[in-house]
Amino acid sequence: MADETITTTGIAAHGASRLQWVEIDSFNLELKDEEGFLGDRASKTAFRENLEEWRKPLRRSGDDPFGKKLSDNLSKKELDATLVGDDSEASAVVYSAVEDFAQELAHVTRRFLKTSAWDKTERIVVGGGFRDSRLGELAIARAEIILKVENSKIEMLPIHRHPDEAGLIGALHLAPSWIFEAHDSILAVDIGGTNIRCGVVETRRKKAPDLSKACVWKPELWRHADDEPTRENAVKRVVRMLKGLIAKAEDEGFNLAPFIGVACPGVIESDGSIKKGAQNLPGNWVSGKFNLPASLVEAIPQIGEHDTVVVMPNDGVVQGLSEVPFMQDVKRWGVLTIGTGLGNARFTNRNVER
């Protein structure tokens, strides 16, 4: 994690550990055991593997309720419908996979809570694409119950925002509050191993000064995993998406701040380079010759009449920051994001007036 600290009135540095409302105690923590990285055991891939294991004996006897369809090709919507459907055997298979996954999620959470960085954590919110399903909600609730049976007092709950929006809305908390005195929105980018999302994030500060009513306007999605672009083409596509949003925001009458918040996987250095953890992105993003924030500023030097500022932290951090308005009743809290991998971040609220 970066050692960078900032004042409460300045622009945050890339990968900063101190923001206006929170201290970022830890992010992208990689825990291992004899089987490898623990996060791999609580990812969406791990759930699919659990599902496949429960289907194997049924497939051998010719009684697999899902037929020949691969587990990876069963959508969350299909599996959610199975949970409440009339096929009891299919429901039992899915519930069994959910239970296995919940046990692993509880195990991984237990290990996080034993680290010094996550000590005294009171609440954990769970985001990522897997959370956006009944499967995910059940797994989160079951994991909390498993931990409480062991007398743990930790709370686990699904992230308040839709995961697709949380990774954009959290970027608001990277900007200093004074920037919103003259602007009502910012640009945000959420880079994932499968998709890249861009959007205009409305602050809605008149409705809620704590940004709890913020929302995403005109989000755009690019599933880059299907196109397998080069790194350079990926950056060009992001620039096109952002320029298109700027034009739409101006036409709509938004007063867009000259600020772009970028959520990116990996360990982000203070200069905007990526130290490690970007292996699922197209091309080599860990190269010392590559700097995404600098590339965006070069392509979009101004927004309105002001010079563009780009801030890029870890994507798990940004998704967690969307929870800041809802975490004011606890001191220390964390986020786990279940997606291609298991993202994580731990926060401590700062004692400042909102």
Model confidence pLDDT, tens digit, residues 290-302 = 999 999 999 999 9
pLDDT at 353: 57
- C-beta of residue 106 within 8 angstroms of C-beta of residue 140: no
- Looking up tokens 């005294």 gives 120
Give residue-wise pLDDT tens across range 59-91: 998 889 999 999 999 999 999 999 999 999 999
> From the CA atom positions of the chain, what is the Rg in Å?
21
φ, ψ of residue 9 to 5 degrees: the values are: -110, -5
* Residue 261 neighbours by CB under 8 Å, 6+ apart: 168, 170, 171, 172, 174, 175, 186, 187, 188, 189, 201, 310, 311, 312, 318
Distances (CA, A) of 285 to 112, 192, 259, 267, 274: 27, 12, 22, 11, 7
- C-beta of residue 82 within 8 angstroms of C-beta of residue 55: no
* pTM tops 0.85: yes
pLDDT at 93: 96
Does residue 11 have a pLDDT over 90? no
Does residue 182 have a pLDDT over 80? yes
| Four-point Cα dihedral 251, 254, 255, 257, nearest 10 | -100
Task: Quote the tokens at residue 22.
Answer: 């929170």
pLDDT at 38: 84
Average pLDDT, the chain: 92
Number of H helices and E strands in the chain, helices first, is 9, 16
Task: Quote the tokens at residue 171.
Answer: 């970027």
* Lowest pLDDT segment from 3-17, 168-182, 230-244: 3-17
pLDDT at 39: 84
Delimit the domains of the chain by residue range. 32-158, 162-322
- Residue bearing the bigger pLDDT, 62 or 200: 200
pLDDT band at 352 (very low <50, low <70, confident <90, very high): low
Architecture of domain 32-158: 2-Layer Sandwich (3.30)
Pick among 2.60.120.380, 3.20.20.140, 3.30.420.40, 3.40.50.720: CATH of 162-322: 3.30.420.40
Q: Residue by residue, what is the 3-state secondary structure of 96-134?
A: HHHHHHHHHHHHHHHHHHCCCCCCCCCEEEEECHHHCCH
Domain 32-158 identical in fold to domain 162-322: yes
Q: Which candidate, 272, 205, 217, 283, places its Cα nearest to that of 244?
A: 217
Half-sphere exposure of 289 (CA within 13 A, CB side): 4
